[in-house]
């Protein structure tokens, strides 16, 4: 079964794009956000030098991509999240992770994962495209 990678279309005249990760169902996550170049190599961390962060702490989980929208054409934004629960309700407990790409306060890309805590790891990516 083939997986379709979401394409995020950015306005080259718009503001700097941001990415946000939101974890639901009384969970927290250790996550990583990486931006790859047009060849799919040379990852750069988003939000920190290695792209790693944690939800559930005092630091917001929304970060600028660090590159103007006009320079993001054909680049890839990759994310992963490993989850832990604040409550112990067993492996059948559901989780949700939402990853949003925003530009000028609007959601221009939406991805994420849902599942049960028997497999509390999810990941995904976005292909970035700049409107012509």
- 103 contacts 90 by C-beta, under 8 angstroms: no
Out of 35-39, 53-57, 76-80, 114-118, least confident range:
114-118
| Residue 14 included in any domain | yes
Distances (CA, A) of 24 to 18, 27, 94, 103, 129: 20, 6, 9, 23, 29
Q: Considering the domain boundaries, does residue 41 fall inside one?
A: yes
Residue 17 pLDDT greater than 90, yes or no: yes
Q: Does any domain span residue 70?
A: yes
Average pLDDT over residues 47-53: 94
Q: What is the CATH number of the domain that holds 36?
A: 2.60.60
Overall number of domains in the chain = 1
Q: Domain span at residue 84? A: 7-130
* 2 falls within a domain: no
The answer to the question of residue 1 being in a domain is no
Reported pTM: 0.89
**CA proximity to 56, closest of 88, 91, 21, 89:** 21
């Amino acid at each position: 079964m083939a997986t379709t990678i979401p394409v995020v279309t950015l306005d080259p005249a718009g503001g700097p794009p941001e990415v946000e990760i939101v974890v639901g169902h009384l969970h927290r996550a250790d996550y990583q956000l990486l931006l790859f170049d047009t060849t799919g190599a040379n990852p750069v961390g988003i939000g920190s030098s290695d792209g790693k962060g944690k939800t559930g702490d005092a630091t917001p989980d929304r970060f600028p991509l660090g590159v103007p929208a006009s320079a993001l054409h054909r680049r890839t934004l990759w994310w992963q999240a490993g989850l832990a629960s604040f409550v112990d309700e067993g492996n059948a407990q559901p989780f949700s992770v939402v990853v949003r790409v925003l530009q000028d306060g609007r959601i221009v890309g939406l991805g994420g994962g849902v599942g049960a805590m028997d497999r509390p790891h999810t990941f995904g990516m976005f292909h970035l495209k700049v409107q012509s």
